[in-house]
């Protein structure tokens, strides 16, 4: 049964599946308060726990501490509520490539109590319009370089009230940035419930109309408190690097919710790993193949201790043909630097350690978790059980 909601706009709660069609949530190990805001927990709460001076973001040429990120997102949250009129439960769309500005806008909108939809710059006006209509988006925040498509999308949209530009650079030369500079660096958390929807994760719509998964505030913290802590065994010294878009849950988990270092392209990533000695990498199988070639050409990726992958299998990342379209895993057992390979099905569902086991075996090792395979693989797997594909 759902608990307290802080949303005055209850669109997302009313559009959840009926309770008898929802998964069984096994939450005994995760005791979160009834009132919870993931944006606050990922920023302000970290400062309150004396982690304010720790580096949270590294972007080429600049490092930002947890305190700087908290202050920045607090200013933005003030703008969203006071100037743009976002109400608790409104849907806010953010349109930008991977960048600290996109992360800050996502955190700020989450703090303000919106249900956020992150999108990639490859989506044009027509695709954006379908998402805006389906999610009944009320507010859009957009990189000023991408405003042509966003403005075109906004024409004749029934629910979209405002489209506001922001500057992806440190120049703060856009409407959202200029308004934020006038705001205080403190922000009082809004009264969201732990099972209020915080995130809508949309597909690209390549197989029909775009569809969205709905994620509660508690869901955004559980992946860090379970997979990141218990499987990846994250340490304070770890530095994250990766290529997946923050608009995808795989990228948002690996490069934002877990401590992060973000980048934009595979060549950049090789340079960043070598320069900053990144220890955990999130990317796709094709990029790992590129990284293997880079090692053969002399790149030093020995700082990596864990490599996490999701995405479609290609010829170099082999799985039995009858399952090739169903699994987001299986390498050949090779290593990159000192890394152990952790391969996930969708977003942090299960992991495979290919260093020790044949490529046709899968190890489900997320503590306290069971996974159910689709179709002919529909057998319940419990933790630490090795199964043949």
Please report, in tens digits, the pLDDT of each residue of the chain (389 residues total): 788 899 999 999 999 988 888 888 888 888 899 999 999 999 998 899 888 888 888 776 678 888 999 999 999 999 999 999 999 999 999 998 888 888 899 999 999 999 999 998 888 999 999 999 999 999 999 999 999 999 999 888 999 999 999 887 777 788 999 999 999 999 988 889 999 999 999 887 666 778 888 999 999 988 888 877 777 777 778 887 777 778 787 778 777 787 543 444 556 778 888 888 888 888 777 787 788 888 888 888 888 887 777 654 443 433 333 333 222 333 333 455 555 444 333 323 333 332 332 333 333 344 444 444 444 444 444 333 333 32
Identify whether the C-beta of residue 251 lies closer than 8 Å to the C-beta of residue 281: no
β-bridge partners, 363: 386
Considering only the top CATH level, what class is 26-218? Answer: alpha beta
Report angle CA 110, 112, 117 to the nearest 5 degrees. 40
Say what angle helices 100-111 and 66-78 make with each other, to 10 degrees: 60
Burial class (CB in 10 A: 0-12, 13-18, 19+), 318: middle
Backbone angles phi, psi at 74, to 5 degrees: -65, -45
* Domain boundaries of the chain, sorted by first residue: 26-218, 232-371+381-388
- Identical fold for domains 26-218 and 232-371+381-388, yes or no, is yes
pTM (predicted TM-score): 0.76
Structure tokens at 381: 């797997």
Q: Please state which CATH number belongs to domain 232-371+381-388.
A: 3.40.50.12780
Say which residues have a Cβ less than 8 Å from residue 222's Cβ, sequence separation at least 6: 30
């Amino acid at each position: 049964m759902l608990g307290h909601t802080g949303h005055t706009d209850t669109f997302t709660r009313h559009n959840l599946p009926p309770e008898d069609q929802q998964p069984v949530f096994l939450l005994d190990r995760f005791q979160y308060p009834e009132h919870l805001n993931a944006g606050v927990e990922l920023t302000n709460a970290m400062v309150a726990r004396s982690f304010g001076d720790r580096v949270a973001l590294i972007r080429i040429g600049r490092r930002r501490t947890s305190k700087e990120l908290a202050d920045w997102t607090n200013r933005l949250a003030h703008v969203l509520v006071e100037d743009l009129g976002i109400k608790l439960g409104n849907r806010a769309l953010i349109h930008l490539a991977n960048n600290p500005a996109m992360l800050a806008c996502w955190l700020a909108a989450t703090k303000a109590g919106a249900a956020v939809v992150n999108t990639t710059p490859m989506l044009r006006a027509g695709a954006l319009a379908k998402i805006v209509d389906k999610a009944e988006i009320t507010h859009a925040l957009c990189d000023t370089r991408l405003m042509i498509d966003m403005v075109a999308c906004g024409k004749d949209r029934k629910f979209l009230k405002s489209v506001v530009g922001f500057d992806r650079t440190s120049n703060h030369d856009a409407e959202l940035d200029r308004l934020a500079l006038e705001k205080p660096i403190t922000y009082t958390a809004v009264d969201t419930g732990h099972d209020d929807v915080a995130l809508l994760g949309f597909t690209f719509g390549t197989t029909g109309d775009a569809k969205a998964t709905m994620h509660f505030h508690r869901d955004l913290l559980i992946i860090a408190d379970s997979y990141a802590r218990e499987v990846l065994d994250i340490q304070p010294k770890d530095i994250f690097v990766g290529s997946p878009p923050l608009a995808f849950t795989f990228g948002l988990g690996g490069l934002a919710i877990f401590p992060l270092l973000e980048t934009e392209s595979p060549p950049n990533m090789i340079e960043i790993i070598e320069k900053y000695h990144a220890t955990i990498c999130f990317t796709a199988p094709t990029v790992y193949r590129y990284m293997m070639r880079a090692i053969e050409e002399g790149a030093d990726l020995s700082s990596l201790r864990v490599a996490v992958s999701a995405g479609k299998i290609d010829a170099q990342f082999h799985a039995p043909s009858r399952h090739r379209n169903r699994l987001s895993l299986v390498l050949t057992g090779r290593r990159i630097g000192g890394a152990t390979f952790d391969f996930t099905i969708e977003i942090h569902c299960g992991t495979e350690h290919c260093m020790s086991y044949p490529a046709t075996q899968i190890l489900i090792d997320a503590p306290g978790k069971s996974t159910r395979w689709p179709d002919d693989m529909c057998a319940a797997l419990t933790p630490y059980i090795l199964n043949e594909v």
